[in-house]
Every structure is written in structure tokens, then in C-alpha cells.
């Protein structure tokens, strides 16, 4: 189940993050108690799968990071990345700050307590998971994307319908879109990712 986190150090870190999610994450109301049994497949590995789509040594933003998904698993898996976790809500951003401290990754992972619209910088990869419908997501994330960068939005079964529904906006924004399905482990469902780049 966890073999994508191959090296000893990665496995220790991701296991530590899992422990934080199922303890402080539940205590602080960021995760429902019923999620404990599916924390690896539904949350951690679902998030980690997006890591393989990000270029080497990239800057990445996780917009609406919540409890750190997908940004923290991606940062643990990819020590070459710098990652900003963007989360406007106080309790969630405090949780992220504690988690990043506990995991010892403050040298390359930062917490920004802001809305996407306030960030004012650009990234090679703009990540999100369960952030918003695609039209709002594009409005928030496109200003954060470098001209040669990409938006990688983790979506569920709605991905194809959302692309069809928002085809005009995608074209009008000068974007091209596709759906990719990376898989962090053969034991779990592939992750459905909407990838947007300048056309």
C-alpha cells in the first residue's frame, strides 16, 4: 500500500504525517473519524499520485491545502520541490504550520495563510484537490501559473463532465486541458487529474 514511499526516510515521514492526520487532524475537526480506515488510499496515496506529473526542481503551490492534501505527501515524496501550502482559514493554516514543523520540512515547505487571489506570485505547478468547480478553480489558479507552468487539479468522477461544461472558458482563457490518471500504488484507484496548460 505504501510502497511509493520507497526510501526509509520518506516512509518514516509519511507515516508520521498519517499519525498527525488521524490524531490532531481529527481532534481539530479537519478530518472525520470515519476517514481513519481509508486514510492511505483515499487521501494520502490519492494525493501522492500527482507528484509524478511535476517537473524536476519545480516550485509548486497547493491551493486550498486544508490539512495538507495534496501538498504534504507531494513534498515528502519529492525532496527536489519547493512547496507553498495556501490556506486562508486560521485553524487549517495553524494545523499546516504545526505539521510542517513536526515533519522537519520547513526549509522547502511554507504555509501562506491567504486566499489564492491574494498570493501575488507564480509557480511551475499549481496543485489542488477538492478546491472548487473548474470555472472558479481556473479563476483562482490561472494567475498563479507561470506561462510555461501547469495547473494540476485532482478531481473525481466529475472531471470529464466539468471539462465539457467549461470548454468555452478553457478556450477563452487560452488553455488546453487533458485528463491524466497517475497511480501511486497498484493497490489503489488511479487519481483523476485535470491538467491545464497554456495552449
Ligand X SMILES: C[S@@+](CC[C@H](N)C(=O)[O-])C[C@H]1O[C@@H](n2cnc3c(N)ncnc32)[C@H](O)[C@@H]1O
- Cβ of residue 49: shortest distance to ligand X, in angstroms? 13
- Cβ of residue 68: shortest distance to ligand X, in angstroms? 8
Strand order, beta sheet including 192-198: 109-112, 82-86, 59-63, 123-129, 145-155, 192-198, 175-180
Is 155 a binding residue for ligand X by CB under 6 A? The answer is: no
- Cβ of residue 96: shortest distance to ligand X, in angstroms? 10
Residue 48 grid coordinates: 501522492
Q: Please give the angle made by the CA atoms of 35, 39 and 42, to the nearest 5 degrees.
A: 95
- Cβ of residue 31: shortest distance to ligand X, in angstroms? 8
Q: Helix or strand or coil: residue 122?
A: coil
Is 74 a binding residue for ligand X by CB under 6 A? The answer is: no
Is 13 a binding residue for ligand X by CB under 6 A? The answer is: no
Q: Helix or strand or coil: residue 118?
A: helix
Q: Pick from 62, 18, 59: which is nearest to 42 by CA?
A: 18
Using the contact rule CB under 6 A, the part of the chain among 19-27, 73-81, 87-95, 179-187 near ligand X is 87-95
Which of 44, 49, 50, 69 binds ligand X (CB under 6 A)? It is 69
Q: Could you say which residues in the range 92-121 bind ligand X, by CB under 6 A? A: 92, 115-117
Amino acid at each position: 500500500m505504501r510502497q511509493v514511499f520507497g526510501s526509509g526516510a520518506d516512509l518514516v515521514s509519511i507515516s508520521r504525517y498519517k499519525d498527525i492526520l488521524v490524531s490532531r487532524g481529527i481532534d481539530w475537526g479537519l478530518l472525520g473519524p470515519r476517514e481513519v480506515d481509508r486514510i492511505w488510499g483515499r487521501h494520502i496515496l490519492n494525493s501522492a499520485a500527482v507528484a509524478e506529473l511535476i517537473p524536476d526542481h519545480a516550485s509548486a503551490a497547493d491551493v486550498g491545502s486544508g490539512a495538507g492534501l495534496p501538498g504534504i505527501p507531494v513534498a515528502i515524496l519529492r525532496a527536489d520541490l519547493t512547496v507553498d501550502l495556501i490556506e486562508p482559514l486560521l485553524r487549517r493554516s495553524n494545523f499546516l504550520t504545526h505539521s510542517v514543523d513536526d515533519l522537519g520540512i520547513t526549509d522547502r515547505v511554507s504555509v501562506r495563510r491567504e486566499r489564492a487571489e491574494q498570493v501575488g506570485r507564480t509557480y511551475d505547478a499549481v496543485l489542488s484537490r477538492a478546491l472548487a468547480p473548474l470555472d472558479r478553480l481556473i479563476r483562482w489558479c490561472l494567475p498563479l501559473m507561470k506561462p510555461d507552468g501547469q495547473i494540476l487539479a485532482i478531481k473525481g468522477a466529475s472531471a470529464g463532465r466539468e471539462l465539457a461544461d467549461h470548454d468555452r472558458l478553457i478556450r477563452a482563457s487560452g488553455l488546453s486541458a487533458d485528463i491524466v490518471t497517475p497511480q501511486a500504488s497498484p493497490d489503489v484507484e488511479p487519481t483523476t487529474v485535470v491538467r491545464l496548460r497554456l495552449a
